[in-house]
A and B are shown apart, each in its own frame.
Chain A
Amino acid sequence: MTKKTILNDAHRQLGARMVDFGGWDMPVNYGSQIDEHHYVRKAVGMFDVSHMTVVDIDGAQAKLFLQHLLANDVAKLTRQGKALYSCMLNETAGIVDDLIVYYLDDENYRLVVNASTRDKDLAWIEKQAESFDVTVNERPQMAMIAVQGPKARQKVCPLLPERLGLSAAEIKPFSACWFGEWFVGRTGYTGEDGFEIMLPENKAEGFWKQLLEVGVKPCGLGARDTLRLEAGMNLYGQDMDESKNPLESGLAWTVAWQPENREFIGRSALEKIKGKGTNDKFVGLLLEEKGVLRGHQKVVLEDGSTGEITSGGYSPTMERSIALARVPANIGETCKIDIRGKLKEATVVKPCFVRQGKVQVDF
């Protein structure tokens, strides 16, 4: 049975093309995906991300528990509302999921995890929580709308209830504020400024329509994917999974090694991997010829060794094809990509192509 978000009817009324996404009936685009992409880079678009899973971790040992559960350290979070990106590892340092954790106070945190991994994540978190004084509460009744783009704040703030608009206008990037059941994080998955807004399901359709009225363009998962690819943000299940560790997924920066005595799950395995030195690294690729890079295409180095594209596609901002790839660490400045049997030239770059509307790489 395909699951539907509370905004399903609203998407259909807008003529969205719907697809199955991890068991959810979701809009992939409402018209031109490329137009939606540009609108977010230049103005403001919105995405229904209510399929994502919100999990509250509460209790006297909430902080201690999350310091054990996550590879990044929630002790970095000292200001109320501050957010942190982290991997959740298994004992062998494979990535169970990536997530955002928000700090409400020392006994209350909120996690946002991927929709496609909901069941295993909840089972994993609950199992790990058994020996801690915490409660794990999923919040399936919350809708979530991401409003992204340089004009996101000016469009959203006046529509928020009570004084939340004033608070939301003040918060710094990667921070959140809340009022009642409304929760506003200045976070996103596009490389642009904006908010991710969690709100009660019964308010979602009204809020969505208000956003439409003030000119926020509805955008589908298609544009969300090209935006995050340009921003160089990993997608769980494509760029990493349980068979990969953070060091070979471009996520070493999310692992908090200090303090040394913090025993997070996967630490000892990851220390061994780090000690041996990883063979693979995570890079960005720019296709120098015509064509489109896609996930699973083979990357061929000068010495004949090979790697693999994990996510690829067309960059509407750069009007050429880009990709994220896991490759042998000795890769040079260029490589070849096997596209349907033809080897095409690509340049190796840092995996961050576009941020805040600006191209970050030479091309």
Chain B
Amino acid sequence: MSNTPDDRKYADSHEWALLEADGNVRVGISDHAQELLGDLVFVELPEVGQSVGKGDECSVVESVKAASDIYSPVTGEIIAINDSLEDSPEAINESSYDDGWIFVVKPVDISELDDLLDAKGYENLIEDE
């Protein structure tokens, strides 16, 4: 379980949230989540400019097995989306922590990140599942 990057935080709904140098938060799903879902075949992205609340459903990833909602880990505005996922949703399977990012939120209050789990806490969570 050493593949959980410790540079970011995790929601118990399996999203990761990476605070970037410019103060924005990049969001994706964990390696564990992509493995549970299986091969990804479709990603419904949010719209740039859309306002999201912490915990709001704002994207859907669909695998060969099931559809899964993606929740924004912080409140703010969507300022970027990973368009390349429309043609290559498998990027989430292949690189869930890097190329498979889904959207970027400009957060209203970065202290919301404190409510999320760190890498160790997340690993404990998925071990208990």
Query: Does residue B39 face the partner (Cβ distance < 8 Å to A)?
Result: yes
Interface string of B33-76 (1 = CB under 8 A from A): 00100110110100000000000000010101111000000000
Query: Does residue A63 face the partner (Cβ distance < 8 Å to B)?
Result: no
- A222 lies within 8 A of B41 (CB): no
Q: How many residues of B contact A (CB 8 A)?
A: 14
Query: Does residue A238 face the partner (Cβ distance < 8 Å to B)?
Result: no
- In the bound complex, what is the Cα–Cα distance between A294 and B42 (angstroms)? 13
Chain A residues touching B, majority SS: mixed
List residues of chain B with CB within 8 A of the CB of A316: 64
- A32 lies within 8 A of B44 (CB): no
Interface residues of B (CB under 8 A from A): 35, 38-39, 41-42, 44, 60, 62, 64-67, 86, 93
- In the bound complex, what is the Cα–Cα distance between A316 and B39 (angstroms)? 10
- A34 lies within 8 A of B62 (CB): no
Query: Which of A29, A290, A294, A340 is in CB contact (< 8 Å) with B38?
Result: A29
List residues of chain B with CB within 8 A of the CB of A313: 64
- A222 lies within 8 A of B44 (CB): no
- In the bound complex, what is the Cα–Cα distance between A241 and B39 (angstroms)? 29
Shortest A347–chain B CB gap in Å is 18
Query: Does residue A169 face the partner (Cβ distance < 8 Å to B)?
Result: no
List residues of chain A with CB within 8 A of the CB of B86: 290
- B65 lies within 8 A of A222 (CB): yes
25 contacts between A and B (CB under 8 A): A17-B35, A17-B38, A28-B38, A28-B65, A29-B38, A32-B93, A33-B38, A33-B64, A33-B65, A34-B39, A34-B64, A222-B65, A226-B64, A290-B42, A290-B86, A291-B62, A292-B41, A292-B42, A292-B62, A314-B41, A314-B62, A316-B64, A321-B41, A321-B42, A340-B60
